[in-house]
Chain A
Amino acid sequence: MPDKIKVGMADWKIARNQDSLVTFGLGSCVALTLWDAKEKIAAMAHIMLPDSKLVRYRQEVNAAKFADTALITMLAELNKLGVSKDRFQAKVVGGANMFTFVGKAIGGNMNIGQRNVLAVKEELLRYTIPLVSEDTCGTSGRSVEFYADSGVLRIRTAMFGERDI
């Protein structure tokens, strides 16, 4: 029986072979996935915020919460398992702006979805990991499942059903 491994907000997990990674309720949050096609290893982070330096309280070891700390942490852990970063390809999903009217009225912070997407892409560039596909921004919330054996990322939205990237 393949396992569906749940990834909560501000969390990240690894799956292998027949198993998959799931996360639901991506509003302005972003799911970043890494996949090693040769070893059939998948990793997914549910990232909430672009920048760990902007928080007002002392941060605990919750590296997957922020775009600027998630990828480096994932790569270091995966490296310990003997997976080289050179084989990874990435996908990015989420970063919606669900309440557009409010966004226009009060500006700034509500476009955090887009800022999350940009920050995640910047990190991928920094570590030269190819971004092979994405489904980002827009106004719909998303739930995703990522299959370790195929590298397929299945996206579900309330209004538009399912699609694979």
Chain B
Amino acid sequence: MNDPSEINAFYKDAFQELGNIGAGNAATALSQMVGRTIGTSVPKVMIIPIEKVPEVVDANEQIVAGIYLKVYGDIPAKILVTFEHADLLALTDLLMGQPMGGGTSLLNEMRISALKELGTILTGSFLNALAKFLDLQMIPTVPALAIDTMPSILNTLLVELSQDARFALLIQTEIFETETRLTGNIFLIPEADALDTMIKAIQKAAGVIDAG
């Protein structure tokens, strides 16, 4: 996107609703997987100059586990799931059905694989709900994991986008386990090419007739 004024309030609301639909489905999937109640926050829709994204999203250089997938199909996008570093052991305990905080202090291969699996399930269910709602095809790649600072991870994702656009659209939704407040974030970052398709699909889904 090169001109943020292209996105009016109607589409901002619609993007927020996409976050809701995706994260709701992801929360349901995770809830079934671990047998706990999973909540979601109201999604944040951000349209920011690419250079400003890391400081707007997290200026504190928090260390996170980032699970990153690319999405191909009708809406090329990047999807990123992040968890705070401090939560990773408890989170993997939960995934592996072990007592939380009782086990090892090491993030071994088994736990890393569990995290990637979690990323796959969350992003897969997120994208599935979106694809169904918009009646479009969205095909994710395999997940890649990095444990690093949030700004570095965002920096890496945005560099590619910065070749094609000056502004980034980010839809950020928090999902959390209600009992222990383990929290993750799902970011959907559409590529520059994807916006037109998204807007047309939203119009169609919302029954808006495009008179233009």
- Given A96-B156, A99-B156, does the pair A57, B147 have CB atoms closer than 8 Å? no
Stretch at the interface among B15-23, B158-166, B196-204: B158-166
- Looking at the assembled complex, report how far the CB atom of A64 sits from the nearest CB atom of chain B, in whole angstroms: 10
* Number of residues of chain B lying within 8 A (CB) of chain A: 37
A112 contacts B160, C-beta separation under 8 Å: yes
B155 contacts A25, C-beta separation under 8 Å: yes
The closest CB in chain B to the CB of A110 belongs to B160
Main secondary structure of the interface of B (DSSP, over half): mixed
With beta carbons under 8 angstroms apart, the residue of B70, B145, B148, B192 that contacts A106 is B70
The closest CB in chain B to the CB of A100 belongs to B144
- Looking at the assembled complex, report how far the CB atom of A101 sits from the nearest CB atom of chain B, in whole angstroms: 4
Asked whether B195 is an interface residue with its Cβ less than 8 Å from the other chain, the reply is: no
B55 contacts A27, C-beta separation under 8 Å: no
| B residues less than 8 Å from A113 (CB atoms) | 156
A24 contacts B147, C-beta separation under 8 Å: no
Q: Scan A112-154; emit 1 where CB is below 8 A from any B CB, else 0.
A: 1100000000000000000000000001111100000000000
Q: Scan B65-97; emit 1 where CB is below 8 A from any A CB, else 0.
A: 000111000000000000000000000000000
With beta carbons under 8 angstroms apart, the residue of A11, A27, A139 that contacts B159 is A27
- Looking at the assembled complex, report how far the CB atom of B164 sits from the nearest CB atom of chain A, in whole angstroms: 5
Asked whether B52 is an interface residue with its Cβ less than 8 Å from the other chain, the reply is: yes
Asked whether B149 is an interface residue with its Cβ less than 8 Å from the other chain, the reply is: yes
- Given A98-B153, A105-B141, does the pair A9, B148 have CB atoms closer than 8 Å? no
A-B contact pairs, 14 of them (CB 8 A): A24-B149, A26-B152, A49-B159, A56-B163, A99-B68, A99-B145, A101-B145, A102-B70, A140-B148, A143-B61, A143-B152, A157-B148, A158-B147, A158-B152
Which A-B residue pairs are the 9 nearest by beta carbons? A141-B152, A25-B151, A27-B156, A27-B155, A99-B144, A102-B144, A101-B144, A9-B51, A27-B152
